[in-house]
Structures are given as structure tokens and as C-alpha cells.
Chains A and B, each alone.
Chain A
Amino acid sequence: MHEHDVVVVGAGGAGLRAAIAAQEAGADVAMVSKLHPVRSHTGAAEGGINAALRDADSWQDHAYDTMKGSDYLGDAPAVEALCQESPEEVIRLEHWGMPFSREDDGRVSQRPFGGLSFPRTTYAGAETGHQMLHTMYEQVVKRGITVYDEWHVMDLAVTDEDDPAERTCHGVVAYDIQSGEISGFRAKDGVILATGGMGQVFDHTTNAVANTGDGVAMAYRAGVPMEDMEFIQFHPTTLPSTGVLISEGVRGEGGILYNEDGERFMFEHGYANNDGELASRDVVSRAELTEVNEGRGIEDEYVHLDMRHLGEERILDRLENILHLAEDFEGADGLTEPMPVKPGQHYAMGGIETNEFGETVIDGLYAAGECACASVHGANRLGGNALPELIVFGKRAGRHAAGEEMGEAEVTTGRSSDWEPADYEFGVEVGETDGSDPAAADGGAVATDAESVVGGAVDRAQERVDELLSRKGRNHAEIRSAVQETMTANVNVFREEGRLEETLADLREAREAYKDVAVSDPSRTFNTDLIHTIETRNILDIAEALTMGALAREEFRGAHWRKEHQERKDEEWLKHTLISWNDGEPELWYKPVVLEGENKTYEPKSRSY
């Protein structure tokens, strides 16, 4: 068994920042990641990092924009922390050598992004995430932090009290992908989940193939509520064939969207008369699909994004990476022709419920970054707000886990006094299927001492792997693609009740099929068949929670559009959706959104751009 003070699961932006912060706070830290750190998906982020750096700007304005962008579903204490701390975090990255783009006076450049009242998005060309990931990994190398790369974390080691709020997380179980050896990792002070996005729930996504939401699903099954899962961001500019992202930076620099008739539809069809292409992402995504659905799309599928008029010099200076992506993946030369784009799944606003220090309801278990829901993005994340989230909340979780005193949290977790049970009937059975392996579903163990809890989790994981490798059955790939197809067809930008119900039924079928899943590659060496089989289980659990949330939320807020409910219902729905696994039986409930910040109370206003 490996033993460390703090174990960070995942080594992308949030994980790296958490590990550095915990180490600075004096902890012995280890990172465990199924990829080598530099392969993490943070590297694919393009656009930039929002931070109020200039005298003419303020963190208060950033907070206001973020609350408005969230459609008033962000929790103000978390949003204010994000906006207050991102300037120092961005400058810290700069002090670590991050090669930001520069102004003539040598200062870090900033550009406009959708939904921002000031051009406060700092960036490094159109490869900001790559530069940030590498800069932070360099700091991890410098500090000699232990990294277990290509170790796949399978499960959390959590005690088995009835009430999740009484449970303690003592570590994780992981296996070495190179050797197949399963080991326990005891974390004396805390486990921080920083496992990133869950884009593989959909089949048209900007997310990496590795983004299967492992941390989210593990926490869910261990008893941590999932928060606001129905809020999925669809990015308006992804390449139609692959889902590869074309940065919002293109529109930030002045890129224009055209339909098949050559109309600048954001204005000409009145989708966003003030902000046009720079309206918030949900607004632009719906506009594009409406154009396609009304017959003004190109090839009935996409629209054009044109940046030719920006001029070669500016494009090469600020968006060069976009030229390469459009050429390599779509065969389009952005300098001489418009690029084809359509909306694609991009970001999960919801995730593991945490407070503003990254703590979950389970003692010793933290989450930060895209897998977590603090919640700073609410119903819609503003472009340029994901990267500051990684560093601000990665740092906070790292420090807290390492034992630093950080005060009382204002965001509550678990079933505190203001929880409200939901009375929605789903019509389809949800949760664990009969006869499926309970071990993988159960976060707990009977024992309470740390060694036995981790040891028990290791035994269960070993049994599970042995069984998957020894039996005959179905391959995960068909189950995974069935989930991805139904989610993309029915739980996309536009959502209707009947089709959401259909999806729950499809997911039920996929769950039944998963009971018989087996791994046909018998090897213990680099068994990707086994990894993908375990991941597919995570995809299933997440897809179901997401669809449940989408069905029950009968209103239109941020990225969540419902055909039957075309208005935001503040009276009834200024609240977060929570879903608890409860030993295989998902239960839905709500808690109110926190609109009172330290700075001000954010009164919901109609959101126009």
C-alpha cells in the first residue's frame, strides 16, 4: 500500500495546482493519473483565462458578469472567490514562466470574450491551456512531487456509515496500467478528485477520449450528491466532423458567423442584437441550430465562421493554432475561406457537490476543476472562466486538504436543513440493475480503520477485475456508443420531455446490457479493453443522472432549454438539482441557490445580450 498525506486523482490543471498548493502547505503529496500529466485535457483549452488585472476593470465586475452568465444559478460566495483570486493566480502563472501573449509594453495581453463587460481574457495565442498545463507540470517537476502516471483510479476507499455526511474517505484504489497490479493508496489528510470533464457521455464533443467522468461517478457511488448535472455547455464553434474546438477567441478577435444565405444571422435574425457573435455560448449555440433547423444551414448541418477579414498578421499572432486545426481536421484554410462550425458538447457545469474550499460532504474527500460543482458556472459558463476555476479551486482544495485553516464555508454540502425533496416521477426505473456487481456500486466497507477500509476497497477492485477478465460476455464498445448516440440525439442543445424519457429508457437498456460486459483481452499489460470497460460504467451513471436532472427541471435556464417550458421560472427554480446514489437508488432533491455574496446580493435580471 502506498501512503501519502494528500492524494490527488487526475493531473490536469486543477490536479497540478492542488498538488502544488498542498505541497507548499507542507503535505507529502502524490498525484495519481491514468494519463501522463502533460497528456491531460487542460492542454486542449484554447481561448484564455479571465482575470481582472487592469485598473479600469474590477473583480466585482467579473463577478457580476459571471453571475449574470450563470443565469443566477451560481453560488455567490464561490463566484466571488473565483473572481477575487484569479488575478493573483494568473500573475503567479506568469511568475512561473507561462508564455502569455504580450502587449507592446510587455504586459500580459487581454481580449474580449463572450458575456464579459471588459476585455479581461488573458491568453497565450490560441493554446492557453497547453501553456498553462506545461507551466504547472514544470513546477511539479521542480518540486519533486510524486506522480504515479498511467495509474487508473478505480474506486474510492470510504467508510460505510449510513449517512454520507458521517463517512470518511481514507484513500483510493488504483491499478498500474503498465503492469496490471492493483494497489491501495492511503491518504492521511485527504483525497482530491481532479478528474476533469465527462464529454464522452456524448458522441460529438470537444473533450478527449479519456474524459469519461471517472471522478464524478466514483464520488456519486460513494454517496456524494451530484449537483446541476443537467447543465451541459455546448460550444458554438466545433468542427463538424470531429468535434475539435475552434476557440471563442476567433469571435473575440472579430470572427463572424454566416448562414448559407450569407447572412450575419446573430444580428439579421435578431438572436443577440447587442453582442452578436459575442453573446453567451448558450445563446449562440441555439442560434446556430435554429438556422440549421430552419433550412439556412450549410449541408443541413453547420454554419460558417469567417476570420479572413482579420488579416493574416493578426491571425498568425493570436489564432495561429486555429489555422492548423481547421486545416488538419477539416481541410479548411482559415486564411482564404470560412471555417465550418456547429455546436458540440464542451463542458459540464455540474458535477461533484463541493463548497468553496472544494470539500464534499464526505470527510477527507475534495473535488476541484470541471469534475466539481462549487458552483461558479451555474446554468452557463462564460468563456475564459474554466481555467481560473482550475487554479483558484485547485489551490483552495490543496491547501484545505493539507490542513490549512480557511474559515467557515458559506456554501453548504449534503442534506442540510434547507434541502427540498423532489416529487418527480420518472416512469422508468433508474439506478443499479439487479444482478449487477454490487462491489462496484458500493463506496463503503464495514471497517472503519483506515488500513482496513483501503484494504477492503482493494480486495473488491481485485475481484471485479478478475471477474471481468475471466468471464465471457459483451464488449463495452457497443454499450458506450449506444449511450453516446441517445444522449446526443435527445439530451442536446434542444430538449423535449418525450425524448428525454426515451433516453432514460435507452440508458436502462444499456445498463441491462452492461450486466454482461466482459473484457476479452486477457493481458495484464496495458489493457485498454479493461480501462474502457470500467470507464463505460462511469459514463452510464453520469448519463442517467444528467438526464434525470434535465427531465425534472421544467424551465428554461442558461444552457438548459426545454420545449415545453420556454421561460426562466425564478419563483420555483432558483435552486440546485442534487442527485444522490443511495446504494444504487438515485434520489433527486434540491437546495436553494446562494445569491448573497460578500460584495453584494445578485438580483436576478433578465439575461439579454
Chain B
Amino acid sequence: MSDTLTEAPQAPEAPTQNAGVVHGLYREGEPIADTKAPKVDIKDRWTTRQFEAALVNPANRRKLTVIVVGTGLAGGAACATLGEAGYHVKSFCYQDSPRRAHSIAAQGGINAAKNYKEDGDSVYRLFYDTVKGGDFRSRESNVYRLAEVSANIIDQCVAQGVPFAREYGGLLDNRSFGGVQVSRTFYARGQTGQQLLIGAYQALERQIAAGTVQMYTRHEMLELVLVDGRARGIIARDLVTGEVETHLADAVVLASGGYGNVFFLSTNAMNSNVTATWRAHRKGAMFSNPCYTQIHPTCIPVSGDHQSKLTLMSESLRNDGRIWVPKRREDCEKDPRDIPEEDRDYYLERIYPSFGNLVPRDIASRQAKNVCDEGRGVGPKVGDFARGVYLDFSDALARMSTEAVAEKYGNLFDMYQRITGESPYEVPMRIYPAVHYTMGGLWVDYDLQSNIPGLFVAGEANFSDHGANRLGASALMQGLADGYFVLPNTIRDYLAHGPYPKVEETHDEVVAARTAVEERVQKLLSVNGERSVDSFHKELGHIMWEYCGMERSEEGLLKAIDLIRSLKDEFWRNVRVLGSGATLNQSLEKAGRVADFLELGELMCIDALHRRESCGGHFRTESQTEDGEALRDDQEFAYVAAWEWGGEDGIPTLHKEDLVFDYVHLKQRSYK
């Protein structure tokens, strides 16, 4: 396979078949566009669409079944709301309870354009900040709607009993977050994700009790069922009994989260995976902007090979902590307290004097990598380099007193100490960037429908709202906006255009999907090789982080594609999955997910390779300004890259959706 990589560009054979083939890796197809957003002023688009969407008579709703995969903010909220509307909902999650979806781990807060602080916030400003923050790679219509429904989300959650922070007068408190200049973030201490998710979970459990939602916990979707080109169900495996089950419906919603675990080490939950969306991609759903990964600058660094996961420290620490590394390499192993002021390099304050330690996530992350690459990183070595920089609170402790620092950051300091065994009150913290969120996902139109009729995608699983970079406190907003307010309105239009012919479990396409799953499970169990699933996953993670992480180059990406192909080949020859398919078998679960990550990893590298510009957290070495800053290329790349699966032995096809900016003018970001 690796041969085609080097040979194909020089010697294209059979030009008719290879027309438009680039690098031997992909071809370009027809452009695509969203046709669902009404062509009216942006302020009126959502109201118009809601009115134009057809209605389903309440008596008919109970005859219609909707499958929802995933129970995080988007999936849980969608299940609850569709259940309340009277549809028959089947809800699936791989965890033992819907309450454990990874949305629960979000710390910071949720944005909403309430303007409760009277500080000049508005729907338009939230829309503007989100488009600009995403480096102009998201779709205006979708982002405007997100800002528009944000205010309703807060009302809904408060009515459910979500205990947001309040002021002494009893009204809700807000804070500013992630460098935004208005206070529009609602929060519940450092557990906003948990509190919002529990709200959605309780609403979902209420519908389970009411009988509108049927819950399938410890179930994993392993295939999408298409009948006559429409999404009509899923094949799922009961993770306890191992039974492969067929579930049919009138429409399918994927709300299965992001795919950051392709990097093995990330802030994602251990079992977060790409399988649901990847299986849909292989059935024809386009995968958009897969290379857009958000790297978060303030995570606890890796301490050794045993490491299974990375823990995020709230970004708020950058408000008072100062980031530095030693000026000289030979000082890196010294106790930081013995390094005098003049031998420290406060590199963010030096390079970006006006923003200092508060530069955006992508910039803070890249500069940390640069100083570590120079050999000036601190802490334990991972490979040849120490991967850590100091986040030092000694100035803050002197200025504010220990009590004041503890009041503000005490719980974070305790968490850090528990994980590292060091007290940030005494020794500077060490931090390093880590993979946090993926902005790419399945392509959807304004209705959140993929290019497969009847297949809807919500939350982090779709690509639509964050462009190349996500603002802090916007992930929770998008999950709940999609689940509570958008999907229930758009899916009814699809359902109202039915009824779609009834499908039997014995239908050829259903049987074929199920057989494919059973065969795949058997195949994984029968390889009987030498290497554990985790060892493959870790190796893939290294490749992805090294070549498709914070900094990417053509040379590196071509190498990564080569390495991933060899690894995939070895996986199917040499993976060892013990036990049977008829019981709880966690190695088998992981094996299926890693097999999909291997295919996704290759597509991420192809996407990163073709996008020869730097935008968001995606820095291409070939596209930078004279002083080394990210350089976007709007002439060439102001589009969404939507990839079509090319078949088992084929190459993917790139479809471009041009991004049109009628309201927010394209501008280069600068933080100097």
C-alpha cells in the first residue's frame, strides 16, 4: 500500500479513472451546499424555517419511532424533548446509565446572550464572536441560530432545577470566560457540565417512566441500516450479553460525541469513540473537517507510559498564573524555585505583550510546544523531551495572600496535588497542551440532517457550529441547543413528509447490515495475534499527535498516512482479543473502536494535508507569517471540506461547501 503513496503522483495510469486524483490519496468531487436555510435576513431564518417545517399531528406522533444514539447534552435533551412531543423514542448509550455521558465532565460554563449584565451583549455579538473565534470556518446561518436559542436554554435549565450560581439578590450570576469581553457565561461552580447533563438526564428519565422513551444502556451502535437510501435503523450490540440486535425506526439521530480519543491520550472519557459516526460515514454520510482538533493549553502533563488519560485544569488559572520555562536548557532539571528571575523566560508575555498569558487556546498551546521542542521543557521526559511548562502562582501568592488564592483556585490546586503529588502553593504547577474537542464531524445541513435522508446529527458529532476553533463555554450551548430546540423542530419536517414504507427485519438490506456486524465481531475475535488492542491504540495516538497534532507539514502528514496504513494492516493480522462475543468483553469493544480510529486517523491526515493553510488550532508550517504566526488563506480555503467514503480499497472524494460571509467580515486574527 505504501508504494502507491510515492508512485501515484508521478505515474498516473488510466487517466480516465484517475482524473482529479491528488497525491494518489483523494479526488475532488462536485461542490455541495446547504439548501435548507431560508434565504431571508439572518435574523429571520430560524423563525421562517420553524414555520415552514411541516407539522405532525399529535395522534400520529406515537406511531413514529426515532432512534437516538448517545445520551449527552445533545442526545439526552433530544430524547427528552422528542418524548415529550409524543414520538416513540429509542435511546442508546454504551455506559451503564445515560447520566454518565462525557458532557458531564465539562467544567467552565455555558454561554447565552441574555445580556443580564447590561454590558453590551446581544445575539448578534455572540454570533459575531463565535464566527470570528472559529477563524471563519463555520456557517453563518447555523451560528446565528445557536446564539438566538441560547437564551431559551438557560430558562429551560433553571426550570428543571439546575442550580446555577446566583447573586445575593437571588438572580443568576455570570462571568466572562475564554477571553470574551462580556459576561455571558452561566456556571455552576466548576461542574456546569454535570449540572446541565443531570437536568437533561432527569427529563429523559421522566419520559422513560412515561413510556415514551425506551432506554438501552450498555448498548453500542455498530452499524447504520439504510433502506432505499434512507436511514431506517441501527444494528447495536448488547455489551452485557453480546447479542447483536436490530432496531428499526423512521429516523435516526446520532449524538455520539467527538473523536478526540483517536489520539489515545486526550481529555475525553476513556470509552468515547467514533464508531457511530464512522459506521454512518462508511454508509455514505459525509465527514467534514476531520482534521479540526482543539488543543487545550492547560492540562496536567503526561507522567509516564502507563498514562491512560489527560486531565484538564480550568483555563481560569491563566488569569493569575504566569507561564515560563528556563532560558537555558541546562536549568531544566533544577528545582524551579532555585532558578532566579533573570534566568526565566516568560515566553507568552515576551512574544505577546498585550495579551500575555491570556492569548487564545491555540496560540498558548503552540508556543508551549515550541519551547519544549527547543529542549526547554520541564518535568519527566516522555521520549526524548520533557513535555511541560511552568504555570507559576508565586507572584499571585505574594500579591493576593495564600487565602485569596485558595478561595479562587483551591479546588483546582487540590486536584492537581492529588494527581501529581506536588502542591502548587509550594512548587509551580506544570502544564502542557492536550487534545480536548473535535470540531469536525458528520456534515449536516441547516436542519442538522446529513446527506443521508433520515439521518440527523447533533452536538459534537456534527461539524457545523464551531469552525476551526471552539470558544470556551460554547460546547454545552451547542449540545443543548441542538437537542432541546433545533432537532425537535427540524425532524418533524422530515417525518411529516412520510410515512416511509414499513421495513421488516427480514429485509435484505437489514439482514446484510446485521450479518456484517456479526462477521466483524467474529473476525476481531479470530485474529488471535500477539498484540493487545491498547498497544495499537497508543501507537496510533503517537502518530496522530506527532504529525497531525498542533503543527502539521506536508512531509509529516505523508509519513503519518504511510505509518497508519502499515499499523492498520498489522492490526488485522496481529491483534489479540481474548474471550468470547457472548459476554461482557471490554477488549472486544475497544478493538472495534480502534479499528475505526485507524481509518479515521488516515482521513484526518488526508484532510490536514489538503488544507494548506493555518487556521484555528491547525497550524501548517507551510502557511505562516514572517514572524511565525498562523496564516489563514481565505482565497483558497474558505470552505467546509466534506469527505465521501471511497470504499474499502478506494480513495475518498472531497466535496467543498463554500462558506459565504454576508454579515461578519473576514479578518486576520492578531494578538500582538
Do these two chains really belong together in a complex? no
